[in-house]
Structure 1
Amino acid sequence: MLASKFVAKTVASSRCWTRFASTSAAPSSYKLIVVGGGAAGLAVSSTLSEKLGKDEVAVIEPSAAHYQQPLFTFVGGGLKDFKETFRPTADVVSPEAHWINQAAAEIDPDNNTVTLADGSKVSYEYLVVAAGIELDFSGIKGLQETIGKNGVASNYSPKYVQKTYEFLQNVKEGNALFTMPATPIKCAGAPQKIAYLADELFREKGIRDKVTVNYYTALGKIFAVDKYADAMNAVAKSRNINVNLFHDLVEVDGAAKKATFKLLGTGPKAGETLSVPYEFLHVTPPMKPFDFIKKSKIANAAGFVDVNQHTLQHNKYANIYSLGDCSSLPTSKTAAAAAAQSAVLKQNLLNQIRGTDAPSAEYNGYTSCPLVTGKHKLVLAEFSGYTGAPHETFFFNQANEHAFSYWLTAEALPEIYWKSMLKGTWNGPSSIRKFANPTGAN
């Protein structure tokens, strides 16, 4: 059964799926509106709805299902069941908040209103934008026509993530390709994680000598932070995975099973294209800001919500904040980053609402990218996206593959996600770090 049908059936059967959905009698004005019911939006709305009171906070979110997206890599690698990745949105929105089950279509910051997909308007005193980022499958020629078939899959979409493992199991020989685009994306480590899991699967099946594993990235490094880039280059080399820098996927011919890359950078072949036959192709699609943000007055030139990188407050509109993937914060777009950002945003916004003179809390760019390299093996990258400096929670060198790091990511963090982060009580590992790594080692 296709993932979308499975989700629709499961969510529709939930006894409480419409519990908080918008109705004709819903309020049209709120103290706070949060645009987005993903990890970042719920981390904020759950706390602030309790602080501000019943139905003072509205969450605008069109999806009936909430996905724990970090688990998609494990699903694509055959290590987790897809059922573990989602819950009905009604079950994860705070009962103190009002869920508006629509998409946002327009933000008017001058009049403090959000226009919904049905054309109606809701007004706010304060606004938090946590809408995420849009997968742009149309940004690669031919991809929309072939994704989900012809050996082409993507762990980034709940619709196609189960196809990844299905297609990997069908591989007997040939080229297995894994791509990373030139645009900003969420979870920038995921494009290569599935390559390591595929390599392991091919070895277990005894066909690794018949399969060439190629990782193509449009960027000039395998990972942004040197410490972890060195580690991942070593892992790739030890597995005989070919790393190709400055290669941007621009076209997929599913019928011919051919992928075409444009060569970037400043080398002698920059601007040329290269076509590669494949048996399996995992595509990380380009990503972009949603149009309703990009076309609004709250966006910067790149289309992201223009906020102060330390306080998360908008640079022009003082009653607007943003966090997560749709924000202009110059750090990696991960759930770990959103958790740390949510703590800063909530403190600053509450101080503003209450009119206190407390000094602003500041976000230091912390983010984390758990790089799965195999069953029970993982490099746990933690760093500041602002400085590039490692910011590790544990006393051991997290650039080394470690079974504990795998267990933490595969088993502990999913529980923390559902039971704490979405309820607004998980602000990242800063409170743990002072005990687990008191000397700031590594």
Structure 2
Amino acid sequence: MPALLSPATCTHHQVLIVGAGAAGIATASSLISRDPSLDVALIDPAEVHYYQPGWTMVGAGVFDAPSTAHTMASTIPRGVRWLQARVTGFDPVSRHVVLEGERTISYEQLVVCPGLKLDWAAIDGLEDTLGRNGVTSNYRYDLAPYTWELVQNLKQGRALFCQPPMPIKCAGAPQKALYLSCDHWLRHGRLGAIKASFYNAGGVLFGVPDYVPALMKYIEKYDVDLHFSQRLVAVDGPNKRATFVRTLPDGSSERHTEPFDMLHVVPPQVAPDFIRNSPLADSNGWVDVDPHSLRHRAYANVHALGDVANTTNAKTAAAARKQAPVVANNVLVALGRRTGLARYDGYGSCPLTVERGKIVLAEFTYGGKLAPSFPTWLLDGRQPTRLAWLLKARVLPPLYWQGMLKGREWLARPAPLATEGAQ
């Protein structure tokens, strides 16, 4: 069990980590595994740590929701101190983090990884109807089981699936909900009576072109109405109406309303308020870091990783798994305890669950360069495979809990930082 400290009695740490999600705990574990004598503290108010990549599987009836939740106390690594508090601001010049109640904690090195904010309120009427009236989202622990309930009970009608503007965490998750739902309806002979539509605020099905052909085969297989440049802006749950704004080629826009029997929503996503309003943020509100060293561009003793960083990689747990060892190494370099900076190459992974039992395993680095973890004769990520499904369903959850969060860097050892692209 971690040492749970009161902020009132804890005023300074060598390394202070803001956020105990996947990125924060993995970084803390990687630091302690490299140097057990290090004074590391994590700040996070949450009681529960969630394996969020599992929620798509919960929404398809593959995982049970409780299997994706562990207590925070059991998840934080031994040797790391836990401050169960809420951060409200930063003073990077004086090296202080401000907590709720105006208490401050000083640090030598700061790691910022509080994740992002799901902006449910950005869609008119959505908060009033979530979890009711056929409106759901796999982006929330308590709603993913409702997704599965709706999928099982829907016999006919219209099912709408939405994707907001980028950036969002796990850009493939909106499609995963679509494919797994359609697969269930197809297997039960209902897909003809249920018409699925996918409303994507972007202009392409997936940002890395190599994976699009395989995905389009499933769009055709499930006879999905595919709509681009369409953003969900309002939901009328009781009357089951969804309003979209369509961006036209000339830049103008128009609104239209669609009826639904089931609506799977993914909300717009932004940096947390205390990040957006801090000196650490760039003009878009994300923490401003060098994309390779993950060190802040203005404050050399600040690093950031995970969803809150302004790097252009996909915001996934797989990205955090690769970033955490890089940040751990580079923090130790900054403390004078190690030589040789490490480099993050932009790796991200998205296991696209196109049907129950098969996955298109998208793996790529900065610029959409393919970065497969396995030889193509064993697993070609551009094609749907059973092996990729077994990886997602059987291997990745224990790899997350017992590998990544324990500082075991299987297939995640950091590479040296080359001169190119470094700062």
Q: TM-score, normalised by structure 2?
A: 0.94
* Aligned-partner SS, 1:364: coil
Q: Which residue of 2 aligns with 1:301?
A: 283
Match of 1:60 in 2: 43
**1:247 counterpart (230, 240, 249):** 230
Q: 1:305, 1:328 within 8 Å by CA — same for their partners in 2?
A: yes
> What is the match of residue 182 of structure 2?
199
Q: State the 1:33 CA deviation.
A: 0.5
Is 1:351 the counterpart of 2:354 in the alignment?
no
* Alignment correspondent of 1:79: 62
Counterpart CA distance in 1 for 2:371 and 2:353 is: 19
CA RMSD of aligned residues (A): 1.7
Return the letter of the residue paired with 2:89: E
1:405 to 388, 396, 418: 388
* Paired residue secondary structure (1:343): helix
Change (3 A) 1:267 1:170: farther
Structure 2 gaps, min length 5: 415-423
- Aligned amino acid, residue 125 of structure 2: G
Report SS of the residue matched to 2:184. helix
8 Å contact kept, 2:30–2:325: no
2:302 corresponds to = 320
Partner of 2:418 in structure 1? none
- Map residues 28-427 of structure 1 onto 2, 5 A cutoff: 28-53=11-36, 56-267=39-250, 270-354=252-336, 358-384=339-365, 386-396=366-376, 397-426=380-409
CA contact (8 A) 1:59 1:99 kept: yes
1:163-218, Cα deviation, whole Å (9 max, x unpaired)? 11112222121110110001411000000001111111112332111100111100
Tell me the CA shift for residue 47 of structure 1. Answer: 2.4
Aligned length in residues: 411
Q: Please say if residues 90 and 278 of structure 2, whose CA atoms lie closer than 8 Å, have aligned partners that are also in contact.
A: yes
State the shift of 1:139 in Å. Answer: 0.7
Counterpart-to-counterpart distance in 1, 2:297 and 2:271? 18
**Per the alignment, do residues 265 and 417 of structure 1 end up closer, same or farther by CA in structure 2, a change over 3 Å counting?**
farther
SS at match of 1:408: helix
Structure 1 gap ranges (5+): 1-15, 432-442
- Secondary structure of the 1:251 match is strand
Equivalent-residue separation in structure 2 for 1:102 and 1:228 (angstroms): 42
Alpha-carbon distance in structure 1 between the residues aligned to 2:12 and 2:259: 55
**After alignment, is 169-178 or 24-33 more displaced?**
24-33
- What is the CA-CA distance between 1:328 and the residue it aligns to? 0.8
Report which structure shows greater RCO (CA 8 Å, sep ≥6): 2
Give TM-score, length-normalised by structure 1: 0.90
Q: Given that residues 186 and 222 in structure 2 are in contact (C-alpha distance below 8 angstroms), is that contact kept between their aligned partners in structure 1?
A: no
* Counterpart residue identity of residue 291, structure 2: Q
User: Which consecutive segments of 4 or more residues in structure 1 shift more than 3 A?
Assistant: 49-55, 427-431
Partner secondary structure for residue 43 of structure 1: helix
How far is 1:243 from its partner?
Answer: 1.4
Partner SS for 1:228 = helix
- Amino acid of the structure 2 residue aligned with 1:408: L
- Identify the residue that residue 439 of structure 1 maps to in structure 2: none
Partner of 1:10: none
- What amino acid sits opposite 1:322 in the alignment? A
1:93 and 1:54, CA in 2 relative to 1: closer, same or farther beyond 3 A? farther
Q: CA deviation at 1:120?
A: 1.5
Residue 21 of structure 1: how far off its partner (Å): 2.5
What amino acid is aligned across from residue 314 of structure 1 in structure 2? H
Say whether the 8 Å CA contact 1:393–1:429 is kept in structure 2.
no
Distance across 2 between alignment mates of 1:66 and 1:406: 24
How far has the Cα of 1:426 moved from its partner? 2.5
CA distance in 1: counterparts of 2:300 and 2:331, whole angstroms: 10
Counterpart amino acid of residue 343 in structure 2: E
